[in-house]
Structure 1
């Protein structure tokens, strides 16, 4: 297990951890949560060994193998498959030893090296790497493409695949979902649920944390607090604790007020001096409780638009894509991404755009906003249309040397006439509503975090009072509190909205309808996000079947009708068996969670002072029975997991 005991960790002059303690047990899947800047990434660096504690202890088993996602952008001509295989450090070491043994001609050394190579999984490394790459959204024809031919987001997916490829006892994932679309995200959730090691994940995706984690570790004001359950459980438990703490604080303040009033009233009277002095001593002995200083939650609002044209925007038979680059020959055709788009955006519509990465979601949004020219068709804007556009690359457009007040002042001078709203104090007051208060209003943007930059872009958009919002992945750098604030603001926004996001909680909260961008077309999607996840699974199955048919047409022997029927029947039987096993596993998950909560309650009771001896005996027997039940249920869960993996591997 990992033990953090009275841990103090400084970054510069600031203490990010202050005598913090926690225990992480083997095999636990833990969500590490806290405000931006609370110290989550610093704790990861400490566990990875790149930082060292300033005081206290950080004990990680020396035999544990660590895996984490490298943050540097890879620049290599290696194929995607070879790059991911190279992430398995133990396989690479075994291969190096095998080459050295062969060069030495030592037969005994070669025998040991070949055994180690087999133990490292050399026989199926290629298949494992390609399964990871395909699961993260790459196509079959991209498996052997050079890494440096991919864009930055896709290269980071390959870095994630490398981390998953490496056998590990401890896996550290810092915002693994940032570059994933929904289909890859669903696949990653499934993979992490099967991961047998200890997992610590930092994420601002509520649904991802709920799906993957079973323990939550909260960093707040330099302290670590452990909660049993996923993120939703953590929120409920923390809310209860805050209510109890606030009630205890208010009760103590009332008691202090009564004692102080008595002392002030009777300390000068000889007849009451002794009673007054006893109350002074009672005040001195009292352990003062702190008030609940809840984290300052960020909130903002989009102002009422000046007008709401209806319809706001119309596209008729529009082809979306990119013109040939400058200097290309005259006969170079444009790059067509989405074809024959016909849509009408009406006032008050709230549309979520669904589709895998590379299908054209951002291309569609850029065409709607007018950032890309139409390749064909027509575009009609409503009168007084005002678009607020948040692009994925919008953070790069900010001037790093300029401050928030300089950005807003420049915008005000280009939009507004002279007047009160252009004065610096008015602009500062506005920025304050987005938490750019005091010196932060004058801080260079280049020194700010990604979340702060995203907040500034939202502030600049909201200030212009748009009536149509086009938001392309606005949450990538936002923490959970700011995402919640954005969700509230979008729900209160009176105009129309189109949203591209992989944050399922945000999509569920603010979108009334969905459009699907797939296979070069834009179509209404009749369903919710759960239906879309099923659509992705069905689509992946259809693609696998199409690939199998293509392989058969390329020379594979045709199977007889009887064989195909047997395979179909076997596949149906396997699918039914898998569904039954997974239902049983889900039921066990629920039972294990209940047993864990009961165990934690008993352990908390043990920690109380002055516990009667007879109750200690009863609780001890109950705890022993719980541990036995947990062991039995966990053994059953592992058996089911192994059986599911065996069946899935056999049917893939």
Structure 2
């Protein structure tokens, strides 16, 4: 088990833990919670050996294997699959031992190395890695793509997959959901529920914590307070504890006042001196109960919109996507993501936008926000439409060298030039006061944004949106950097907002509390989702299961799709001719796939026979030879399966 006994932990001059004690038992799934800056990530640094305690006793079983998500951005040309496979440190060590053994003539060492490689799961390593990658939202066609070809958020997902790939007894996850969509988040929850080791997770996602944790450790006042149960149970128990503490404090204060009154009244009287002195000693011996110091709550509100056009906007046969890159060859068309959308957005609607990763949720929101133009069709806006847009990459467009006050002054100039002044105060003192309502007070208004935390940047973006008094809010993953208190403040503000909300989020607590209807972006279209978030979660889990089963299934090439027969004879003839031409064109490709099928089947059979042989007692030389051949067969099988996937993809898209 993990034990901390009277641990002192400092960061620079700040004491984060002071005589803190807690015990974490093997197999427990622990949510580590506390205010920003309380020391959660610093405690992780103690657990992973990066920091050492400044006092007290700290113990983690030395034989426990540790897995955690690397925070550096990977820079490599390795394929996504190979990068994740390398996260299996046991397999990596076994591969290195095989390479070292093969460089010698030691048959027994080679035999042992090959057996260790087999025991490390080399046979199914690729399938395990790809199941993790697909579960975290990647497409099948991206499994072989270089890591460097992905954006920063997707590379961090690969780092997470790499951590999950690592065999471990202790896993540390610090905000693992920040770069995930709802579909990947639901999959991760299901995976962590099956995890057999000890898990410590830092997260600001209430439903995520409720789903996977059975213990909560709260860092407060430099102490570690352990509660049995998930986050919701922790809140209930803490509220009871606070009530009891307040009642005990009040009772003790009454007793102290009574004793002090007796002391003050009789300390000068000789006949009562002994009784007064005994009460002084009683006061000295009394263990003082601390007064309840509740954490300051953060709240804000959206101002009443200047007007509410109805409908806010309407989409007519609209097609959304991206224009061709500037360096694209002549004649390259746009990339279509969502098409033939016919929807209206009405005043007062609360719309949650759902859809698996890559289906076009952000594309839809960007187009409504005017960041993209419709490829076809049109979006008609109501008179006086004023959009407040929080984009996923919104924090990146803040100017790192500028201060919050400079951002607000720039916003005033922009809105004034556009003739859309929001009706708020525009003097510097007005802007300072407004920033103060978002906890930017004192010197913080002149602090460079680049030195601020992600949560502080997100609060600044919300502040700028609120100042503009929008009547339509488009929020694309607004909670990624917000702590629980700020998320709850956002939910309350959105519920009281009199305008319209369109929300993309993986925070189910926010979706549940704000949205009363859902749109589903799927298969290139947008339709109402008939169900609630629980129904959608079941849908996502079923989709994830289907993808895993497809990956595990034996490779069978898909036949070319046959169009449904048309009733007219002419149409039937044209279809038959089209199929014949397609079959002629694809015949060489099909032959290659069939040849690979036969070879893969033979190699699979040989691999099974070798594994069976290695499970029997063999002479060292025979075992080494069988192990060497098993390695060769595994490499050939992996290469041919990759080739088969590529050819099958060509066949499907032809």
| Aligned counterpart, 1:499 | 503
| Aligned counterpart, 2:304 | 304
CA–CA separation in structure 1 for the residues paired with 2:423 and 2:205: 42
| Matched residues, number | 557
Q: Which sits farther off after the overlay, 293-302 or 387-396?
A: 293-302
| Aligned counterpart, 2:415 | 415
CA–CA separation in structure 2 for the residues paired with 1:121 and 1:458: 48
| Aligned counterpart, 1:3 | 3
Q: Is the 8 A contact 1:262 1:276 kept in 2?
A: yes
Q: Identify the match of residue 468 of structure 1 among 455, 469, 472.
A: 472
| Aligned counterpart, 1:439 | 443
Q: Is the 8 A contact 2:424 2:467 kept in 1?
A: no
Q: Is the 8 A contact 1:227 1:234 kept in 2?
A: yes
SS at match of 2:103: helix
Task: Evaluate the alpha carbon distance shift between residue 524 and residue 212 of structure 1 in structure 2; reply closer, same or farther with a 3 A threshold.
Answer: same
Deviation at 1:517?
A: 0.8
Q: Identify the match of residue 433 of structure 2 among 407, 416, 429.
A: 429
CA–CA separation in structure 2 for the residues paired with 1:56 and 1:69: 28
Deviation at 1:50?
A: 1.1
Q: Is the 8 A contact 2:298 2:485 kept in 1?
A: yes
1:487 partnered with 2:491: yes
Deviation at 1:467?
A: 0.8
SS at match of 1:352: strand
Q: After superposition, give the CA deviation of every residue in 1:517-555 in whole Å (9 maximum; x if it has no partner).
A: 111111111111111122224445666788879635377
Task: Evaluate the alpha carbon distance shift between residue 420 and residue 269 of structure 1 in structure 2; reply closer, same or farther with a 3 A threshold.
Answer: farther
| Aligned counterpart, 2:569 | none
Task: Evaluate the alpha carbon distance shift between residue 552 and residue 409 of structure 1 in structure 2; reply closer, same or farther with a 3 A threshold.
Answer: closer
Deviation at 1:68?
A: 0.5
Task: Evaluate the alpha carbon distance shift between residue 420 and residue 537 of structure 1 in structure 2; reply closer, same or farther with a 3 A threshold.
Answer: closer
Task: Evaluate the alpha carbon distance shift between residue 81 and residue 251 of structure 1 in structure 2; reply closer, same or farther with a 3 A threshold.
Answer: same
CA–CA separation in structure 1 for the residues paired with 2:300 and 2:318: 36
1:359 partnered with 2:356: no
Task: Evaluate the alpha carbon distance shift between residue 199 and residue 418 of structure 1 in structure 2; reply closer, same or farther with a 3 A threshold.
Answer: closer
CA–CA separation in structure 2 for the residues paired with 1:235 and 1:420: 37
1:551 partnered with 2:521: no
| Aligned counterpart, 2:47 | 47
Q: Is the 8 A contact 1:302 1:489 kept in 2?
A: yes
SS at match of 1:491: helix
Task: Evaluate the alpha carbon distance shift between residue 88 and residue 542 of structure 1 in structure 2; reply closer, same or farther with a 3 A threshold.
Answer: closer
Structure 2 unpaired stretches of 5+ = 560-589, 596-654
Superposition RMSD in Å: 2.2
Q: Which sits farther off after the overlay, 182-191 or 532-541?
A: 532-541
1:536 partnered with 2:540: yes
Task: Evaluate the alpha carbon distance shift between residue 266 and residue 442 of structure 1 in structure 2; reply closer, same or farther with a 3 A threshold.
Answer: farther
CA–CA separation in structure 2 for the residues paired with 1:224 and 1:546: 45
| Aligned counterpart, 1:249 | 249
| Aligned counterpart, 1:78 | 78
| Aligned counterpart, 1:225 | 225
The structure that has the greater radius of gyration is: 2
Deviation at 1:165?
A: 0.8
Q: Which sits farther off after the overlay, 323-332 or 444-453?
A: 323-332
CA–CA separation in structure 2 for the residues paired with 1:542 and 1:19: 50
CA–CA separation in structure 1 for the residues paired with 2:382 and 2:294: 44
CA–CA separation in structure 2 for the residues paired with 1:365 and 1:130: 30
| Aligned counterpart, 2:68 | 68
| Aligned counterpart, 2:570 | none
1:368 partnered with 2:374: no
CA–CA separation in structure 1 for the residues paired with 2:389 and 2:447: 24
CA–CA separation in structure 2 for the residues paired with 1:313 and 1:340: 16
The two structures have a TM-score, normalised by structure 2, of: 0.82
Q: After superposition, give the CA deviation of every residue in 1:201-254 in whole Å (9 maximum; x if it has no partner).
A: 111111111111111111112110111111111111111000000111111122
SS at match of 1:204: coil
CA–CA separation in structure 1 for the residues paired with 2:23 and 2:75: 38
Deviation at 1:420?
A: 8.8
| Aligned counterpart, 2:31 | 31
Q: Is the 8 A contact 1:413 1:422 kept in 2?
A: no
1:525 partnered with 2:529: yes
Structure 1 unpaired stretches of 5+ = 558-652
| Aligned counterpart, 2:645 | none
Deviation at 1:308?
A: 1.1
Deviation at 1:284?
A: 2.4
Q: Is the 8 A contact 1:352 1:514 kept in 2?
A: yes
CA–CA separation in structure 2 for the residues paired with 1:538 and 1:19: 47
Deviation at 1:78?
A: 1.1
Q: Is the 8 A contact 2:41 2:174 kept in 1?
A: yes
Q: Which sits farther off after the overlay, 528-537 or 168-177?
A: 528-537
| Aligned counterpart, 1:628 | none
Task: Evaluate the alpha carbon distance shift between residue 330 and residue 287 of structure 1 in structure 2; reply closer, same or farther with a 3 A threshold.
Answer: same
Deviation at 1:422?
A: 2.3
SS at match of 1:385: coil
SS at match of 1:551: coil
Task: Evaluate the alpha carbon distance shift between residue 282 and residue 538 of structure 1 in structure 2; reply closer, same or farther with a 3 A threshold.
Answer: closer
1:317 partnered with 2:321: no
| Aligned counterpart, 1:581 | none
CA–CA separation in structure 1 for the residues paired with 2:516 and 2:359: 22
SS at match of 2:389: strand
Q: Which sits farther off after the overlay, 440-449 or 483-492?
A: 440-449
Deviation at 1:412?
A: 2.9
CA–CA separation in structure 2 for the residues paired with 1:481 and 1:360: 30
Q: Which sits farther off after the overlay, 411-420 or 463-472?
A: 411-420
| Aligned counterpart, 2:88 | 88
| Aligned counterpart, 2:58 | 58
| Aligned counterpart, 2:103 | 103
| Aligned counterpart, 1:566 | none
